[in-house]
Structure formats: structure tokens, C-alpha cells
Chains A and B, each alone.
Chain A
Amino acid sequence: MTITTNLAEKHGGKPFSRRPATSKLETALTLAAGAAISVYGVLRRDWFGAAFAGGGGYLLYSGMSDLRRPYQGRARVAFTIAKSPQEVYDFVRNPQNWGRSLREPMFEHNDDGQVTLRLGEKHGLDFKSRVELTDEKPGEYIAWASEDQRFEHRGVVHFKKAPGDRGTEISVALEYKAPTGPITHSLASLAGLNPEQLLREGLRQIKQLMEAGEIPTTVGQPVGARGLRATAKRVLYHERPAAEMQPQRMAGD
């Protein structure tokens, strides 16, 4: 994968370190997982089956192509929010809104001004990484870079007035070097855990909070007997068993 925009140069971030290549074992496992998922997908013969077959194909592909490459990726996501650039900037910049109101906080802010990137908590995978703001222009952009070398990442959030009465285009460009190899990455992608999807859901929640004042949910609603297969798919639908259900906590509660 080639990174076309070098965010590091533009926004004062550091270049990524060198990382050892993928092992043969990892490659073999990726190929096996890819084959299994493709077969499952083909057997299912519905749209989700097609998605799985596609995902499996991707694993097969990455198993074959990622032989000697360190895992480095990039993600770009943009949303349009029906508010002014200053309002969106202020919302994003206000640490109060980070940990408390987003269900999947992208950033967390502690009392001594320390910023942490946090991913995948909802999926039982609590990932934390310290962040340093490298550049910023109020109302226009914020750039960041990771401070430690476990998971290296850097990125920039842009706020731009959208045409007409559409509000603000908020975009995030992120470059990262994953802490795990391609298998974990690819499997995580299938479960919607890849950085791009997490980023997308994070931005979506900012948009939903700013426009609608709440994040839509069905967690805690009545359901009938789920049966075995549908119970297994609860992860996919972000559904939790009744015992864990609790109304959503909102900012200002």
C-alpha cells in the first residue's frame, strides 16, 4: 500500500519506525482463514454470504501478497454535518464531548491534558495509545501523532465549509502502522474492527450528536426468542443480552 499524502511532513509528525516482516506462520494462517471464510460465504448464498466470500477473498489475497511487508495502512473518512465549521471544530475540540458522549470514543482526555486514542472498547478490545497534537488551526484543522511506538499513527482532522446550506465537511486522514500482523488486521476488518470503520463510526456519532442530539440505538429494546444463529450474530448487530441492557448515558446526565 502506498501512502500518497505524507501527513508527517505537513503537520510536524515523526516518520514511522522500521518494523520486522511478517512471519511464514502468519501467512499460512491467513491463507487458511481466508479459504474457510470464502467457503462459508459461498455456501450462505445471500448478501452477507457475498460479503463473507469477499472478505475471505481479501484474506487469501493478503496472505499471498503480504509475505514480506510490514503492516502499514491508511484510512480516510469524511462526513458532512449540518453545522458551521466553527461549531463542529468546537465540538470536536471540547474534551468533554470525547469520552462521555461518544459510545465509541476515539479520543480520551485526562486531567493533565494527556490525550489518548482509544479504539474497540465496545468489542472487548480496549486499545489505548497516547497522542500528541502536532499542529492546529482553530476552525480549520487539528493534526496529531502517536507518542509511543506500539501502534504508530498520525492524522489530521479538517473542517471545511460545505457548499450551499449543507454545513461542514469534516474529514479525517489517518496513517498507521498496526501493532499486529496482517492476519489479525484482516480478521478484525471482517468484524468491522478495522481503523477505517472505527473512524467512520466515530465521525458518524459526532454527526448524530450534533444534528439529532442523540445516537440512535436499539440496545435494550424487546426481542423474541433469538435461537442459536441469531444469538451468535448479536455482535454484528451490536445487540446485548437483556441482563447487560441499560439505557444510554448522555452528555449532561
Chain B
Amino acid sequence: MKALCWQGTNKVEVERVNDPVILNPRDGIVRITRTAICGSDLHLYDGYIPTMEPGDVLGHEFMGEVVDTGREVNRVKKGDRVVVPFTIACGQCHFCKHDLWSACDNTNPNAWMMEKMYGYSGSGLFGYSHMMGGYAGGQAQFVRVPFIDVGALKVPDGLDDEQVLFLSDIFPTGYMAAENCDIKPGDVVAIWGCGPVGQFTIRSAFLLGAERVIAIDRFHERLKMARAGGAEIINYDEVEDLLAELKWMTGGRGPDACIDAVGLEAHGTGVAAAYDYAKQRMKLSFDRPTVLRQVIQACKKGGVVSIPGVYGGVLDKIPFGAAFGKGLTFRMGQTQMQKYTERLLKHVQQGDIDPSFVITHRFSLDDAPEAYRMFRDKRDQCVKVVLDPWATPKAA
């Protein structure tokens, strides 16, 4: 089959690889009909996630048709149309039973690596480094899905691929980011980053009853999309002092909750940012926590800082005194996918949201290397790319 493989920093290639086969009794094989590129993939592309190796198959946002199942698979059947969440979970450990699916104890074959770095290991993830399990991902024509009964969400008839594809990651991720803010009537939520995750966070905050949402980015097309979702917007490139602006917009209180939907590759200017860039370039750190510093500083007293943006290592110059002084609550982590998929599918079915709004580009799998560049450089007003692994390439 064809699969998109990581071949080093800034280098991805479509290669011919073996078709996946059932390896364990609870596995299933899915023929992929649609797959997407995520902001998280950009961290791999840019070389900031350790334990990626040349030849690793990328992709963790995908859906398709079940074509084979292991002998312990009961719920999912051949022919089912399914969306697969990016966190692989066993469904039976203490964490799975307490809705902490991305903390599953039993799905990371390389748990020891993550234990060495983080103390304990999270669940395995598709296409996201050896430390996170080393599972081949879904920017390919087929994928092996371990514990398919636990993960796969069956798609009811009448919904297009593009309406449900993002239940594999970014819709639940945005939703959990908003839910983590304990939104109460009257709350003002500020969201840094209007990428795909930010867009779903904005809409989820409203679904959960936020009074106002303030969205922050510097790309016009992304800010426009945020405004279409009901948010007030700030172009941080055009304001002198972002924190003063936020204070001004919230009657001097500050936002009740601040969400970092940017993560470790935050864009920044000034001395602190220059220092972060330099450290990252010298491989002394993996993270540029510009936005994390800002959300802590901006958040109101007793407020919540919610962090869906990914961080990897040891962060520098975090204003922890401000966090302590204001008594902030921190919530973060890989999304507890299986907790949200059914609930959010209902929202899609009821027409509360059509997740396909975020798609700006459609390519064949063969065009993926070009699509990665375009998405990374935010060229051509690109917000979200969807790939069809069976289409003929545009470039030909």
C-alpha cells in the first residue's frame, strides 16, 4: 500500500510499504477513506518530538471501512464505517474505566521509554513517535487499529466522511479544552491560536454556554473563521500589548479561563522569544512556551488555564509565581478521546455543528509532502488539509 513516511526533519515521503495485518486478537484493519494533517503532525515535521525515526508511518486523524478483524473483536464488524480516535485504549484498565483513556496502562509497547522521561507512560498513539508506542499511522491506504472495539466509532448513515472525520481528534480536543474551563453563565473565555484546534475550541466553548469568546492569532483567514464561529478577535500582531488589550476587553477582570491552543511552536517576538528560538535551535529544549507564559499572566484570579497545545520537555521561565499568586487551576493533556466521541457525534447529528467548516484544502495522499509544507507555512490561506488516499495526484 501507499503510506506517508517521516524521513527526517522537514522531510516526508509517500512510500510503498507492506499492507498491515492482524497482529493481536483485538486488532482490526481499516481501509482508509479520509485522513487529515494535524497541527501535532507539524511538531513531528519540524523535528521537535523525540524518538521519531525514518520510515515511521505518519497520521492519527483518519476514518474508513473495517476490512478485517481479529478473533477477539466483537462489537465492530467487517464493512462497518468507522472513525478511529487517536488514543489507543484497552477499555479495561483502571484509567480506561475512569474515562482517562489517554492514560491507558496497556497500549504502549514502549512504555519504558516514556516512564524514563515522564515517570509514567500514557496510552499508545497512532503515528506519533516510538516513545508514544511506535504505532504506524493512518496517512496511508490501510491501518491496523489495536483494540478496535474500544476505539472505533461507528458512523450512522447519512453523514459524509468530512462531517465526522474530525471526531478522530480535533473536535474532541477542542471540546475537552473548553470543558476543562468549567464554563459558567457569564464566563469570558480567551483562546490563543485559531488553528483547527482553536476553531473547535471556540465553537465548543459556546456549546458549553460561554458568554463571550475572545480568539487570538495573527492570520487573517483564521481570525475570520473564528469570527464566523461567534468569537471576538484580536490580531496580536496589530496590538501593542496583548495583556492590556485583554484587560481592556474584560472590564479589567481578565478572562475567566484562558486556553493555550498553540503549544510548543508558538510564534513570538521580543527578547524572551528570541531566547526560546535560540535554545530550540541548539536542541537545548523542545518547547517555546511564549503562549503558556501569556495565558498564565492574562488569566483572572482563581481562573482556569486549559492547555490542549502540546508540550514535550522541560519549560523555561514559566511565571509560576503569578499562577500561585492568583490561585490558578491548570488542566491539560492528550485528549480523553473515547469519553467524547459519542457525545459529539450527537451534536453533529442534531446539526449543532458541521465540523467540515474547517476544511480549506483537499489533496490526494501523493500530494501530502506539498500539503505539509503549505499547512506548516500557512500558505494559500490553509487552515485544515484533508487527504484522500485513493485519489490520483493533482500534481501529475
Query: Within 8 Å of chain B (Cβ to Cβ): is A82?
Result: yes
B window 1-17: CB within 8 A of A: 1, 3, 5-7, 13, 15, 17
Residue A51 is within 8 A (CB to CB) of chain B in the complex? yes
CA gap between A201 and B121 in the complex, in Å: 13
B280–chain A nearest beta-carbon distance, Å = 12
Q: Determine if B106 and A208 form an interchain contact, defined as CB atoms under 8 angstroms apart.
A: yes
Q: Is there contact, CB below 8 Å, between B15 and A211? A: no
Residue from the list B91, B105, B107, B147 in contact with A207, Cβ < 8 A? B105
Known: A192-B112, A208-B106. A248 touches B54 (CB 8 A): no
Residue of A166, A224, A226, A238 with highest tally of chain B CB at under 10 A: A224
Chain A residue at minimum C-beta to C-beta distance from B89: A212
A200 and B113 CA atoms in complex are apart in Å by 13
A250, CB-defined interface residue at 8 Å: yes
The stretch of B129-137, B298-306, B358-366 in contact with A is B129-137
Interface 0/1 of B15-45, CB less than 8 Å to A: 1011111111110000000000000000000
Binds B, one of A28-36, A120-128, A133-141, A215-223: A215-223
Question: In whole angstroms, how far apart are the Cα atoms of A224 and B2 in the complex?
Answer: 10
A223 and B117 contacting across the interface, CB-CB below 8 Å: no
Q: Which residues of B contact A171 (CB under 8 A)?
A: none
- State whether the Cβ of A80 lies closer than 8 Å to any Cβ in chain B: yes
> By the criterion CB–CB under 8 Å, are A216 and B133 in contact?
yes
Q: Which of A42-50, A61-69, A111-119 is found at the contact surface with chain B?
A: A42-50
Task: Say whether A211 contacts B93, CB under 8 Å.
Answer: yes
Cβ of A225 < 8 Å from any Cβ of B?
Answer: yes
Question: Is B93 within 8 A of A212, CB to CB?
Answer: yes
The reply to whether the CB of B388 lies closer than 8 angstroms to some CB of chain A is no
- On whether the beta carbons of A212 and B50 are closer than 8 Å, the reply is no
Instruction: Decide if B108 touches A216 in the complex (CB within 8 Å).
Output: yes
Q: Which residues of chain B in 23-82 are interfacial with respect to chain A, using CB atoms and an 8 Å cutoff?
A: 23-26, 50-51, 53-57, 72
CA distance A230 to B55 in the complex (A): 8
Verify if B83 is at the interface (C-beta below 8 Å from A).
no
Contact B55 A227 (CB under 8 A): yes
A80-B120 Cα distance, complex, nearest whole Å: 13
User: When chains A and B are docked, how far (Å) is the Cα of A85 from the Cα of B285?
Assistant: 44
Q: Are B109 and A238 in contact (CB under 8 A)?
A: yes
Please name all residues of chain A whose beta carbon is closer than 8 Å to the beta carbon of B133 when the two chains form the complex.
216, 218
Q: Known contacts A214-B24, A220-B21; is A225 also within 8 Å of B283 by CB? A: no
**Are B136 and A223 within 8 A (Cβ)?**
yes
* Contact status of A166 and B5, CB under 8 A, knowing A204-B111, A219-B23, A225-B54: no
Given A225-B7, A242-B18 in contact, is the A213-B55 Cβ separation under 8 Å? Answer: no
Highest count of chain A CB atoms <10 Å: which of B7, B50, B54, B282: B54
Which residue in chain B gives the minimum CB-CB distance to A246? B23
Inter-chain residue pair count (beta carbon < 8 A): 139
Q: Are B134 and A197 in contact (CB under 8 A)?
A: no
Bound-state CA distance A52–B116 (Å) is 12
Tell me if B146 counts as interface (CB < 8 A to partner A): yes
Secondary structure dominating the interface of A:
loop
A207 to B111, CA, bound (A): 13
Give the docked Cα–Cα distance between A178 and B42 (Å). 46
Candidates A166, A197, A212; contact of B94 at CB < 8 Å = A166
Are A211's CB and B90's CB within 8 A? yes
Given contacts A216-B108, A217-B23, A224-B3, contact A45 B92 (CB under 8 A): no
**CB <8 Å contact, B18 and A222:** yes
Q: Give the number of chain B interface residues (Cβ < 8 Å).
A: 56
List which B86-143 residues lie within 8 A (CB) of chain A: 88, 90-94, 97, 105-112, 116-117, 124, 130, 133-136, 140
Residues of chain B with a CB closer than 8 A to A230's CB: 53-55
If A82-B92, A222-B136, A233-B53 touch, does A216 touch B20 (CB 8 Å cutoff)?
A: no
Is B124 in contact with A225, judged by CB distance below 8 angstroms? no
B111 touches A226 (CB 8 A): no
- Asked if A229 CB lies within 8 Å of chain B CBs, one says yes
A233 to B113 CA separation, bound complex (whole angstroms)? 13
Q: Which residue of A lies closest to B110 (CB)?
A: A237
Which residue of the partner chain B has the closest CB to A50?
B117
| In the complex, chain B residues whose CB is within 8 Å of the CB of A226 | 53-55
A166 to B90, CA, bound (A): 16
Could you tell me the distance in whole angstroms from the C-beta of B142 to the nearest C-beta in chain A?
8
A166 to B91, CA, bound (A): 15
Whole-angstrom distance from the CB of A77 to the nearest CB of chain B? 11
A224 to chain B: which residues have CB within 8 Å? 3, 5-7, 13, 15, 17, 54-57
Is residue A20 contacting chain B, with contact meaning CB distance below 8 A? no
Docked-complex contact A222 and B17, CB < 8 angstroms = yes
B26 touches A213 (CB 8 A): yes
Asked whether B134 lies within 8 Å of A218 as measured between CB atoms, the reply is yes
The chain B residue sitting closest to A223, CB to CB, is B55
Q: How far is the CB of B147 from chain A (nearest CB, A)?
A: 7
Decide if A212 touches B3 in the complex (CB within 8 Å): no
What residues of chain B lie closer than 8 Å to A221, measured between beta carbons? Answer: 20, 23, 135-136, 144
Decide if B92 touches A211 in the complex (CB within 8 Å): yes
User: Would you call A48 and B109 a contact (CB within 8 A)?
Assistant: no
Residues of chain B with a CB closer than 8 A to A225's CB: 5, 7, 15, 54-55
CB-CB under 8 A from A204, the residues of chain B are: 111
| Measured CA separation A197–B97 after assembly (Å) | 27
Residue of B nearest to A222 (CB): B17
A167 partner residues in chain B, CB cutoff 8 A: 94
A216 and B283 contacting across the interface, CB-CB below 8 Å: no
- A167-B94, A212-B147, A221-B144 known; A248+B55 contact, CB < 8 A: no
By CB atoms of chain A within 10 A, which of B5, B7, B134, B313 has the most?
Answer: B134
Shortest beta-carbon distance from A194 to chain B in Å? 11
Other contacts beyond A211-B92, A250-B25: 6, CB < 8 A: A46-B283, A82-B94, A220-B21, A221-B20, A222-B140, A247-B21
The 3 closest A-B pairs by CB, nearest first: A224-B5, A212-B90, A224-B55
